[in-house]
Structure 1
Amino acid sequence: MPDQSVPVCVSFKISTSPTLSGRPVDSGQAFTSYDVDFTVKVEATNLRPDTKYFYQFADCTNPRSASPIGTTRTIANPNTPASQVNGGKPLTLAVFSCSQYQSGYFNAYGFAAHNTTADVFIHLGDYIYESLGHGESIGRQTLGRELATIHDYRQRLNQYRTDDDHEVADQAWKAGTANSNDSAVGCSFSASGACFTDRKLAAVRAYHEWMPIRQVDPGNKLRIWRNFQIGKLADLTMLDTRQYDRDVTDLYYNTGFLDTLSESKARGAVWRIVGQQIVFTQLNEGGSFDVDAWDGYRANRARILDHLYSHKISNTVVLSGDSHANWVSDLAHPNDTTTYNPQTGAGAIGVEFAGTAVTSTSAFGANIQPAAADPISRQLVAANPDLQWSEGSFRGFFTLTVDPRTLTATFYAMRNISTPNLDGFASAKFTVQNGANKLSRPVAGGAVKAGVLRSTLNSTK
């Protein structure tokens, strides 16, 4: 650990060359200190839109002490024609959620980096967990205690990087969590021994120090929701459905979200991709509903669907995480089979791709195998008209490959997360055609390598 009283000088350089050869696009020096946990962020200059770059940091006093070469990219200018985004090639997003250190190795990250052509990585939340767990048997014991202070959050973020909602705590809303609220009882008996507001401020500070994210609003550190205009190909709208104005009553919104969807249509973007934390589609789980998801905020969900239908906003794709299982659905009003046809998809207004966890335990049961998970999926698909695929055994991620005509979602399953490896496979692939507002039929081409399809369920009746 450097001397806490002395700032550290870090040099940086950015290049279009994978080996950083030739004249850098940008270079310079920056100071960091204990006040920001010796992290450093650089606002690079001279960057062109829609371009891949490589970068490296080094000790100003010892250039041989350098970081690995990293890679990043800029997105297309908002006015770039859809057919020219990403040099005319399809743009691929890799989507992750729920990475619990003590539950297993983050093999999904490595698989995506080595075995897919992903251009952008998106994490929908639960990038870290505040709990300790029991990872000793696989060499994944977390350091420290349940997170409460700035030191705790910094230590945990540091440890997660060694593997290369719970950003605050479990089932969070704006003034509390599942086990810690802003009350005398919550402060006295929460597992961390801290009031939630104190935990949240510590978590947000460490988050902005460690995460490669720009602070959207200098006057509001809590705000992470924002919109990216990727040429005329797509608008990627990232919501915060956890910490920002989320209440225990019906106050589940993000300022201007509906306007953003309308403006996206008006500017001529082909696709509207909405990245957010929790499952949007209604999931009837044997007569019970997860009120921690959008099923706890039904009026808000109805307003969004009504807006899409009434304004005829096409090509909306919702990305979701948090549930620790895979779900793929047409977007329609829940159980409205008078205007929506589950077999053909007619009447839908969009689609949802909800991905499983990178490592966190399956919602169907710890270490559940496909033979036990698939009967649960059959029941869920049968009980939910919008739901077209359910899979609850494998950990993993999914990719979205986007071009002006088609959007393709490919789900990947990791066979083993108890050791570091790249042992995975593509479990299912889904397509959406421009203007169709539904999953293409037959869904997933009529066959998947894991989980249960609605079409397969129907054929066995």
Structure 2
Amino acid sequence: MRRRTFLSALSFALADALPGQETPKFASNPFQLGVASGDPAPDGAVLWTRLMGENLKAPVPVRWVVASDDKCTKVVKQGVTSAAPDLAHSVHVEVSGLAANRPYWYRFTAGKEESPIGRTRTAPSAAAGLDHLRFAFASCQHYETGLYTAYDHMVQEDLDLIVFLGDYIYENGPRDGQVRRHNSPEIMSLSDYRNRYTLYRGDEKLQRAHAYAPWIVTWDDHEVDNDYANDHQENGMDRTTFLERRAAAYQAYYEHMPLRIGQKHHGTALQLYRRLSYGNLAQFHVLDTRQFRDPQPCGGSGTRPVCAESQDPKRTILGAAQTKWLLDGLDQSKARWNVLANQVIFAPADFKVGPEIGFSMDKWSGYEASRNTVMDFLSKRKPQNPVVITGDVHSNWAFDLKRNWQDPKSEALGVEFVGTSITSSGDGMDARPDTPKQLAENPHLRFFNAQRGYVKCTVTPKEWQTEYRVMPFVTKPGAPISTRAKFVVEDGRKVLQQA
């Protein structure tokens, strides 16, 4: 009763802060999409929600509180913001003034309706000697192809952070014979993309994962269209029409992610690449390999034999500005571990295409000059402990990043952990028939698995430990979780050791 009285009094006090806005009466709770936090800093984080409701057209005042306890009674920060119709009544609150490296709980209120309580955690201060960081990374959560059981297990882990590496939604229309069903034909307009996010965000397991810990997010292709490259779409859509579609997709992405106000979309652009630090232990360099890349070479995005175009020194997957930003950031980093949060496989991994060897032109292998630029930098400047984390391919891989890819004795410049999908591609399998051959033909490839799940990482000053957490199925409920493989990277060694 005392908490309700406090919130009611707060409602009247804060409503006065937004003159001209009426507090609506909702037919049902408007917080149907849950809450989320993201991009933690030493003094705060971004808090997110989106209001839902029939005939919700005018701006709505939304109150927020941050508390030091899980019941949200010991309030340490509070305020009021406006959920505006031009951003689908989404809310992005940038909280500051909090203590570093500790959990906080938060809640929103609109009218008499309250949101669920979410938990976030601030990052350590820049100079803090952090003794550990625990996070999971995931990607590719196609709604139709499975259940989000992985998130039930993820929220049972002791995590400080969740990193999502792309394909949060999928753009295709509904398909028969799937576990669940998309809610419209292929999405094109802003309202289409908003409705698709509403479908995905309505999943209770996903909501619990967002409320459990802060997220760092980046996108891949399906947030817009499969295998798109900058202003190019392979299926023949003209550039102007595609850019209109991309602008709608980027706006909907911002509306539904816990991103900062400064990252808000501007027409067809959205500032997604950025850096986040965890004391002096880890720095995350979050990449965007879609918005600035050249079109895929050698005839398109499929798996193809190497061609001269893929090695053109003018071709880029990051763009000139982002490439400079990445290399400058690595060069200046004081962190023990430098994490490249990346969408598509960085290391080369070849496959047979008829009698020839082929590489996926949608990955870094289609942009050899970009990869060489990064590898040359790692070789010459030797930033501390580079670790690439990757999504996209619906399977687990582990790579040593070698100066000479075909020579097991070549200098080690870093490692790459590729994580499988949450649901995309369905139940999966432990290994493919060609797995032994692939391992033999790619000496820098140390592990492959094609089950569903996520990757858990425990980082200390002395070592990085990665666990591939997998499930036997996603097409029915109740899948258990297990560790399929575990790797350790020792500080300064830059090579994988299987634990």
Decide: shared fold, TM above 0.5: yes
CA distance in structure 2 between the partners assigned to 1:217 and 1:327 by the alignment: 31
CA distance in structure 1 between the aligned counterparts of 2:433 and 2:109, rounded to whole angstroms: 53
- Aligned equivalents of 1:276, 1:386: Cα separation in 2: 19
The residue correspondences of 1:119-158 to structure 2 (distance < 5 A) are: 119-134=160-175, 137-138=178-179, 140-158=180-198
| C-alpha separation in 2, matches of 1:417 and 1:395 | 7
Give the number of the structure whose residues are more often strand, by fraction.
2
CA offset digits 1:304-341 (Å, max 9, x no partner): 1111011122310001111111110100135341xx42
Q: Deviations over 1:348-405 (max 9, x none)?
A: 11100001111111xxxx65543xx34321121111111000112x111101111100
Q: Structure 1 residue 232 and structure 2 residue 271: aligned?
A: no
Partner of 2:149: 107
By how many angstroms is 1:242 displaced?
A: 1.1
| 1: CA distance, partners of 2:477 / 2:234 | 31
Cross-structure match for 1:77: 125
Q: Which residue identity does 2:120 align to in structure 1?
A: T
Q: How does 1:298-447 map to 2 (within 5 A)?
A: 298-337=368-407, 340-341=408-409, 347-361=411-425, 367-370=427-430, 373-392=431-450, 394-421=451-478, 423-440=480-497, 444-445=498-499
* TM-score normalised by length of structure 2: 0.77
Deviations 1:3-60 (A, max 9, x none): 24322222211112111122x121122221322112111122321222211111122x
In 2, distance between residues paired with 1:358 and 1:328? 18
Q: Unaligned regions of 5+ residues in structure 2, if any? A: 1-52, 207-220, 298-314
Instruction: Describe how 1:244-263 pairs up with structure 2 within 5 A.
Output: 244-248=292-296, 250-254=315-319, 255-257=321-323, 260-261=326-327, 263=329
Matched residue pairs, number? 407
Q: Secondary structure at the match of 2:464?
A: strand
> Following the alignment from structure 2 to structure 1, what is the Cα–Cα distance between the partners of residues 63 and 56?
19
Residue 112 of structure 1 deviates from its aligned partner by: 0.8
* 2:363 corresponds to: 293
Amino acid of the structure 1 residue aligned with 2:108? F
* Structure 1 position 161 matched with structure 2 position 219: no
Shift in alpha-carbon separation, 1:334–1:128, aligned structure 2, 3 A: farther
2:109 — aligned with what?
Answer: 58
Q: 1:438 and 1:145, CA in 2 relative to 1: closer, same or farther beyond 3 A?
A: same
Equivalents in 2 of 1:299, 1:332: separation in Å?
Answer: 16
Structure 1 distance, partners of 2:323, 2:281, is 19
Q: Which amino acid aligns with 1:11?
A: R
What is the rounded CA distance, in whole Å, between the counterparts of 1:245 and 1:374 in structure 2?
31
The percent identity for this pair of structures is 30
Check the 8 A contact 1:130/1:147 in 2, yes or no: yes
Determine if contact 1:276/1:321 at 8 Å carries over to the other structure.
yes
> Would the aligned equivalents of 1:245 and 1:252 in 2 still touch at CA under 8 Å?
yes
Deviations 1:245-289 (A, max 9, x none): 444461222525456455445443111110010001101112111
Tell me the C-alpha RMSD between the 2 structures: 2.1
Q: Gaps (5+ residues) in structure 1?
A: 188-194, 446-461
Cα distance between partner residues in 1 of 2:348 and 2:433? 19
| 8 Å contact from structure 2 (residues 316, 369) kept in 1 | no
